[in-house]
Amino acid sequence: MPASPTPHVSWKDRMGPTLDGLRRAVTTEDGPSGVPARLRGWLAGRRSSGRLLFLNFRDGSGFAQVVVAKNRVPPESFEAARACPLESAVEISGAAFADARAPGGMEVRAEAFAVICAAEPYPISPKEHGAQFLLDHRHLWLRSKRQHALLRIRDEVLHSFREYLREQGFVCADTPIFTPNACEGTTTLFETQYFDRRAYLAQSGQLYNEAVALSVGRTYCLGPTFRAEKSKTRRHLIEFWMLEPEVAWAELDDIVALAEGLICHTVERLLERRALELEALGRDLAPLRRIRAPFPRITYDEAGEILAGKGTGFTLGDDFGAPDETALTEDLDRPLVITHFPAAIKAFYMEPAPGRPDRVLGLDIIAPEGYGEIVGGSQRIHDPGLLRRRIREHRLPEDAFSWYLDLRRFGSVPHSGFGLGIERFVSWMAGLSHLREAIPFPRLLYRLSP
Amino acid sequence: MPASPTPHVSWKDRMGPTLDGLRRAVTTEDGPSGVPARLRGWLAGRRSSGRLLFLNFRDGSGFAQVVVAKNRVPPESFEAARACPLESAVEISGAAFADARAPGGMEVRAEAFAVICAAEPYPISPKEHGAQFLLDHRHLWLRSKRQHALLRIRDEVLHSFREYLREQGFVCADTPIFTPNACEGTTTLFETQYFDRRAYLAQSGQLYNEAVALSVGRTYCLGPTFRAEKSKTRRHLIEFWMLEPEVAWAELDDIVALAEGLICHTVERLLERRALELEALGRDLAPLRRIRAPFPRITYDEAGEILAGKGTGFTLGDDFGAPDETALTEDLDRPLVITHFPAAIKAFYMEPAPGRPDRVLGLDIIAPEGYGEIVGGSQRIHDPGLLRRRIREHRLPEDAFSWYLDLRRFGSVPHSGFGLGIERFVSWMAGLSHLREAIPFPRLLYRLSP
* pLDDT per residue as tens digits for the range A329-376: 999 999 999 999 999 999 999 999 999 999 999 999 999 999 999 999
Please report how many Cα atoms fall inside a 13 Å half-sphere around the Cα of residue A198, on the Cβ side.
Answer: 10
Which amino acid, one-letter code, is at A436? R
B179 touches chain A (CB under 8 A): yes
User: Looking at the structure, do residues B62 and B202 belong to the same domain, yes or no?
Assistant: no
Contact B114, B80 (CB under 8 A): yes
Whether A1 maps to a domain, the answer reads: no
Alpha-carbon gap, residue B428 to B369, rounded angstroms:
8
Whether A45 maps to a domain, the answer reads: yes
**pLDDT average, residue stretch B6-12:** 78
Per-residue pLDDT at B255: 97
Can you say whether residue A196 is alpha, beta or left, with left for phi > 0 and alpha for psi between -120 and 50 degrees? alpha
Please report how many Cα atoms fall inside a 13 Å half-sphere around the Cα of residue A360, on the Cβ side.
Answer: 23
Which amino acid, one-letter code, is at B426? V
A 306-335: CB under 8 A from B: none
User: Looking at the structure, do residues A151 and A227 belong to the same domain, yes or no?
Assistant: yes
pLDDT higher than 50, residue B1: no
pLDDT higher than 80, residue A196: yes
User: Looking at the structure, do residues B149 and B276 belong to the same domain, yes or no?
Assistant: yes
Q: Could you tell me the sign of the dihedral formed by the alpha carbons of B346, B352, B358, B363, in that order? A: negative
Whether A300 maps to a domain, the answer reads: yes
pTM for the predicted model, two decimal places: 0.96
CA distance A73 to chain B (A): 23
Residue-averaged pLDDT of chain B: 94
Whether A3 maps to a domain, the answer reads: no
Using CB atoms, pick whichever of A162, A230, A239 lies closest to residue B176: A239
Edge-to-edge strands, sheet with A197-201: A178-179, A197-201, A191-194, B191-194, B197-201, B178-179
pLDDT higher than 50, residue B91: yes
| Closest C-alpha among B15, B1, B115 to residue B61 | B15
Whether A213 maps to a domain, the answer reads: yes
SS3 A195: coil
First to last CA, chain B: 38
**Residues in Cβ contact with A79 at an 8 Å cutoff, skipping those fewer than 6 apart:** none
Q: For strand B356-367 and strand B336-342, is the pairing parallel, antiparallel, or unpaired?
A: antiparallel
Using CB atoms, pick whichever of A41, A208, A253 lies closest to residue B440: A208
The DSSP-derived string for A413-432 is: --EEEEEEEHHHHHHHHHT-
Domain boundary among B60, B83, B117: B117
Domain boundary among B117, B132, B167: B117
Q: Which of A3-17, A251-265, B385-399 has the lowest mean pLDDT?
A: A3-17
B101 touches chain A (CB under 8 A): no
User: Looking at the structure, do residues A357 and A253 belong to the same domain, yes or no?
Assistant: yes
Which amino acid, one-letter code, is at B319? D
Q: Check which CATH number belongs to the domain holding B415 and give it.
A: 3.30.930.10
- DSSP element (H, E) containing B139: helix B138-141
SS3 A356: strand
pLDDT higher than 90, residue B131: yes
Per-residue pLDDT at A2: 47
Domain boundary among A84, A117, A150: A117
| Closest C-alpha among A326, A354, A331 to residue A339 | A354
Cβ of B216 within 8 Å of Cβ of A293? The answer is: no
Cβ of A151 within 8 Å of Cβ of B179? The answer is: no
Using CB atoms, pick whichever of B261, B404, B413 lies closest to residue A89: B413
**Residues in Cβ contact with B125 at an 8 Å cutoff, skipping those fewer than 6 apart:** none
- Residue numbers of the domain that contains A18: 11-117
Long-range CB pairs of A4-12 (<8 Å, 24+ gap) are A4/B297, A6/B253, A8/B257, A8/B293, A8/B294, A9/B253, A9/B257, A10/B257, A10/B260, A10/B261, A10/B293, A11/B168, A11/B254, A11/B257, A11/B258, A11/B260, A11/B261, A12/B168, A12/B261
Per-residue pLDDT at A185: 62
User: Looking at the structure, do residues A340 and A421 belong to the same domain, yes or no?
Assistant: yes
User: Looking at the structure, do residues B157 and B235 belong to the same domain, yes or no?
Assistant: yes
Nearest residue of A to residue B353 by CA position? A1
User: Looking at the structure, do residues B113 and B193 belong to the same domain, yes or no?
Assistant: no
Alpha-carbon gap, residue B41 to A87, rounded angstroms:
59
Alpha-carbon gap, residue B8 to B14, rounded angstroms:
10
User: Looking at the structure, do residues B96 and B191 belong to the same domain, yes or no?
Assistant: no
Q: How far is CA A223 from CA A106, A156, A175, A419, in A?
A: 38, 16, 8, 11
**pLDDT average, residue stretch A244-269:** 98
Whether B450 maps to a domain, the answer reads: no
Whether B68 maps to a domain, the answer reads: yes
Alpha-carbon gap, residue A343 to A356, rounded angstroms:
10
Per-residue pLDDT at A15: 83
User: Looking at the structure, do residues A268 and A343 belong to the same domain, yes or no?
Assistant: yes
User: Looking at the structure, do residues A272 and A386 belong to the same domain, yes or no?
Assistant: yes
**Residues in Cβ contact with B5 at an 8 Å cutoff, skipping those fewer than 6 apart:** none
Which residues on chain B are in Cβ contact (under 8 Å) with A208? 139, 440-441, 450
> What share of chain A in percent tops pLDDT 70?
97
Cβ of B441 within 8 Å of Cβ of A406? The answer is: no
Looking at the structure of chain A, the number of domains it has is: 2
pLDDT higher than 80, residue A184: no
Cβ of A142 within 8 Å of Cβ of B298? The answer is: no
Per-residue pLDDT tens digits for A202-230? 999 999 999 999 999 999 999 999 999 98
Q: Which of A12-21, A414-423, B80-89, B397-406 has the lowest mean pLDDT?
A: A12-21
Whether A237 maps to a domain, the answer reads: yes
User: Looking at the structure, do residues B194 and B55 belong to the same domain, yes or no?
Assistant: no
B240 pLDDT tier (thresholds 50, 70, 90): very high
Strand partners, A372: A367
Instruction: Give the burial class of B351: count Cβ atoms within 10 A of its Cβ; 0-12 exposed, 13-18 middle, 19 or more buried.
Output: buried
A100 touches chain B (CB under 8 A): no
Per-residue pLDDT tens digits for A377-435? 999 999 999 999 999 999 998 999 999 999 999 999 999 999 999 999 999 999 999 99
pLDDT higher than 70, residue B136: yes
User: Looking at the structure, do residues B40 and B151 belong to the same domain, yes or no?
Assistant: no
Using CB atoms, pick whichever of B3, B440, B441 lies closest to residue A298: B3
| Closest C-alpha among B130, B385, B153 to residue B269 | B153
Q: Could you tell me the sign of the dihedral formed by the alpha carbons of A103, A108, A113, A117, in that order? A: negative
Which amino acid, one-letter code, is at B353? A
Q: Check which CATH number belongs to the domain holding A15 and give it.
A: 2.40.50.140
Contact B76, B5 (CB under 8 A): no
Contact B418, B379 (CB under 8 A): no
Residue-averaged pLDDT of chain A: 94
A 392-421: CB under 8 A from B: 403-404, 406-407, 409-413
